[in-house]
Structure 1
Amino acid sequence: MRTAEPLTVPHGPTAVDPARWPDVAAVPAASRARTAVTAAVVRHALRELPLRVRLAGGETLGQGGPLLEVRDPAAFHARIGTGGLVGFGESYMAGEWDAPDLVAALTVLAAHTADLVPAPLQRLRRLWAPRHPDEERNTPDGSRANISRHYDLSNELFALFLDDTLSYSAAVFRGFPASWDRLATAQQRKIDRLLDLADVRAGTRLLEIGTGWGELALRAAARGARVTSLTLSREQRALALERVRAAGLQDRVSIELCDYREARGEFDAVVSVEMIEAVGAEFWPAYFRVLDERLAPGGRVALQAITMPHERMLATRSTFTWIHKYVFPGGFIPSTQAIEETVRDHTRLRLARRDAFGAHYAETLRLWRERFAERAEEAGALGFDETFRRLWTFYLAYSEAGFRSGYLDVQQYLFTKENPAR
């Protein structure tokens, strides 16, 4: 295939490779009328926000607050008018807008997300919002492809911004503000708390759904548990196996390239950390039935899950977003109500405990984002160009803003199975 020459985005920070980033390199064609309507809607929304939005040419909108600079208003409005939130993120990747404090600006937008689109347009969301591609449904084959697109990017990339535990989920800190030198301990504290919830000890038969890079399996095996861990990521499995061998725990840890629906056997405990977000609402009943079916009577499930408000979950359930397109294809964040109703209606599990700690995720993400920024040149040396680095910066900042605004939260759940009869 012929490689096209990179195009330079006007006012942007870098050349965008159209072969790698076709939808970023090219501003979508939009009619004058559509762009004008979009500009009017965007201006109306921004005027009421506690933001200071400065458009190229000198116009300023907003009620004051974090600065958001729109360098190319025509492209900015054309992208939003044709792609909504996808276009908003692509406009950032293209360098058409920026913010000195990206998290602060995105936190304002996240806090007002339900009000940004006028109510009449909200009611017509199904007509204008992009839909999920059918190939990204989380069927067994779809899940393998979706997981690979994120987690198989490069173990070296993730190692640039994760701590030595290689934990890619919310840590639990003792106090704020968090610091990098406390992150590994905070991640181990999170893991130990989940293992304690599941009552994992010497001799426990533990099923882990979602291996990551193996830290939870290692800590469970160090307690004397026998761990079966499932993953769909070949890259993660390879490195997790290396870590297991280096720790001399091969006799206690088995890491299988296996979909959760293919799990077999009976276990005293099941632990799953931020895996449900990759399952998809369509398959939540199947996921929780597997937890139930694999768990022995008297066993315990410890689950860590990112959550969002139920009303927003219902409103956005069918919407295809920038995060889906560029970061987590097939992903969908549940609400606490959705989790608890699915467990109640489809399993014999019973909710015993739920603890929220969203502020800890905001700090975890801040540390990852700052670390990634510090090591941007190393990411470039691995082959991740500046457009990708803007993508990854936006992803981490966007996620942090979700937790800082309260739009997102994270929970640790304990479910029990005391009675084998329904």
Structure 2
Amino acid sequence: MSHSHLDAIDAQLWPGVAEVPVPRFGAWRARRAEAQFAQACDAAGLVLEGADADLRVAHDALFDRLAHGGWVGFAESYLAGEWTTPDSAHLVRVLKRLLGAGYAPKTPAVTESPATGGELPTELVKLYAGDRVSHQGGIFSTGVPTTVRESVPAYERSGAKEHFVDVTHLSEPTAVDREDLRSAQERAAAWLADATRVGAGSHVLVFPATGLQAAVQAAERRAVVDILTADPERAEAVREHLVLAGVSDNVACQDIEHLVPSPQEWRGRYDAIISIEALESLGSRERGRYVQAIDRLLDASGRAVIQATVATEQMTGPGRDALQALKAYVWPGLGLLTVPEINKLVERSTGLRIVAQTHTGPHYRESLEQERSFFVGHLREAAAAGFDPVYRRLWTYQFALREALFALGMADSVQFTLVHRNRGGRR
């Protein structure tokens, strides 16, 4: 069968997109995949034809891909332009409704590979985060925090069976527009600095460079800051931003070989450590080394904060399957842990303990919506920067998928505050 619509796709860059797979018992499995997809769309209330269509299928290759790769094939078909939506908001709607309806095409697991170096390209980040060359979820001013102290299981191999954690939830933000995103991200950075009690003279470590805004916030409080990045291109962009922000005298950006520094690669003792959006992308083998590095580098009386996307109790099998596409094409070590799993990881791997956690999911979802809108508004600039149509569709898709998971309550963003257990539980 001819697939001339794929001729313009670079097969070296996008081998899984440029070629339509031929599943075993291909014709029969493709017909079954088409029937299952139609049933799922009907159950989800999605319109496939007419002026009000939520999505349009332009090529039957979609069903070969669904039969072969499930949710990964569904994403690859979108990247190939084989199905489309009127706009990116409809893409969120399609993903949200299919996941909400429990659409579960058989999805082979993507082989995990650890994140060993590069962060997101600086030119890409600028297309949705503006000139800040960093990205993180925001906290909007209309959210109201509520804090309770909860007893949680202790996972250390000896000692108490439970301990207390201050758990904060933020209410939904209201009346938000794109202009609010910058202040929301600055507010989120301030919360991270507050959680680690950064002040004048504090020695602060920020890694990876995703936490650039937190580093600027710490420097503005007259702290001394080190930023670690395993991406030389990102390091150069960070240094330029630090000069423009007027904090280059207080902040040093250091190149390291690996995203998680070994004792030979980086030494020091810090009053505060801030890490944003690293844990979920590292891969299962690296996560223990990641929290152990924080343990090693944190001063005995210091505080660390980890911001991570987590899976909630509402996460489903189809939700995890849908994330396989992002594992295949964006974050090769991607895996969303639950809050109890992160508690267990910290206590089994280190001498640290989580003493507070702030749930900011509704605000993170709103941040994703604003970033998606900002990126889609700069597609021409993305093309001029060298991102081809497949890459541009990929980035739109990953925003929409994550936004859908947050909207369904399957994912949450949490700031975890950690201290050494030998502090005797002092806050």
What TM-score bracket applies, with the shorter chain setting the length?
0.7 to 0.9
| Secondary structure of 1:190 counterpart | helix
Q: Return closer, same or farther for 1:215/1:339 CA change in 2, 3 Å cut-off.
A: same
Give the whole-Å Cα distance in 1 for the aligned partners of 2:304 and 2:55: 44
Match of 2:46 among 38, 42, 51: 51
Q: Return closer, same or farther for 1:94/1:359 CA change in 2, 3 Å cut-off.
A: same
Q: Is the 8 A contact 2:305 2:418 kept in 1?
A: yes
- 2:304 is aligned to 301
Q: Is the 8 A contact 1:310 1:338 kept in 2?
A: no
RMSD: 2.8
User: Is 1:41 aligned with 2:41?
Assistant: no
- 2:103 is aligned to 116
Match of 1:80 among 59, 66, 75: 66
Q: Could you give the per-residue CA deviations for residues 157-212 of structure 1, whole angstroms, max 9, x where no partner exists?
A: 32122134333110111132322222111111000000000000011111112113
Letter in 2 for 1:25: A
Q: Is the 8 A contact 2:202 2:224 kept in 1?
A: yes
User: Is 1:419 aligned with 2:422?
Assistant: yes
Q: Return closer, same or farther for 1:131/1:24 CA change in 2, 3 Å cut-off.
A: closer
Match of 1:132 among 108, 111, 117: 111
Q: Could you give the per-residue CA deviations for residues 94-136 of structure 1, whole angstroms, max 9, x where no partner exists?
A: 2211223111111112334xx3228xx6xxxxxx614315xx2
Q: Is the 8 A contact 2:114 2:286 kept in 1?
A: no
TM-score by length of structure 2 reads 0.81
- 2:349 is aligned to 346
Q: Is the 8 A contact 1:161 1:371 kept in 2?
A: yes
Deviation at 1:319, TM superposition (A): 9.3
Give the whole-Å Cα distance in 2 for the aligned partners of 1:387 and 1:319: 18
Q: Is the 8 A contact 1:177 1:363 kept in 2?
A: no
**What does 1:64-103 correspond to in 2, within 5 Å?**
67-72=54-59, 74-100=60-86, 101-103=90-92
**What does 1:250-289 correspond to in 2, within 5 Å?**
250-258=248-256, 259=258, 260-262=260-262, 263-289=266-292
- 1:3 is aligned to none
Letter in 1 for 2:22: A
Match of 2:187 among 181, 186, 189: 189
Match of 2:327 among 324, 327, 343: 324
TM-score by length of structure 1 reads 0.82
Q: Return closer, same or farther for 1:367/1:315 CA change in 2, 3 Å cut-off.
A: closer
Q: Return closer, same or farther for 1:331/1:257 CA change in 2, 3 Å cut-off.
A: farther
Deviation at 1:19, TM superposition (A): 4.3
Deviates most, 388-397 or 158-167: 158-167
Letter in 1 for 2:374: R
Deviation at 1:318, TM superposition (A): 9.6
Give the whole-Å Cα distance in 2 for the aligned partners of 1:311 and 1:371: 29
Deviation at 1:80, TM superposition (A): 1.0
Q: Return closer, same or farther for 1:43/1:337 CA change in 2, 3 Å cut-off.
A: same
Q: Is the 8 A contact 2:114 2:282 kept in 1?
A: no
Give the whole-Å Cα distance in 1 for the aligned partners of 2:379 and 2:388: 10
Q: Return closer, same or farther for 1:320/1:306 CA change in 2, 3 Å cut-off.
A: closer
Question: Can you give the 5+ residue segments of structure 1 that lack an aligned partner in the other structure?
Answer: 1-6, 59-64, 122-127
Q: Could you give the per-residue CA deviations for residues 136-161 of structure 1, whole angstroms, max 9, x where no partner exists?
A: 234xxxx12xxx2x523xx2332122
- 1:159 is aligned to 126
- 2:5 is aligned to 9
User: Is 1:402 aligned with 2:405?
Assistant: yes
Q: Is the 8 A contact 1:299 1:418 kept in 2?
A: no
| Secondary structure of 1:224 counterpart | coil
Give the whole-Å Cα distance in 1 for the aligned partners of 2:201 and 2:417: 20
- 1:235 is aligned to 233
- 1:61 is aligned to none
- 1:124 is aligned to none
Q: Is the 8 A contact 1:205 1:269 kept in 2?
A: yes
Query: Identity across aligned pairs (percent)?
Result: 30
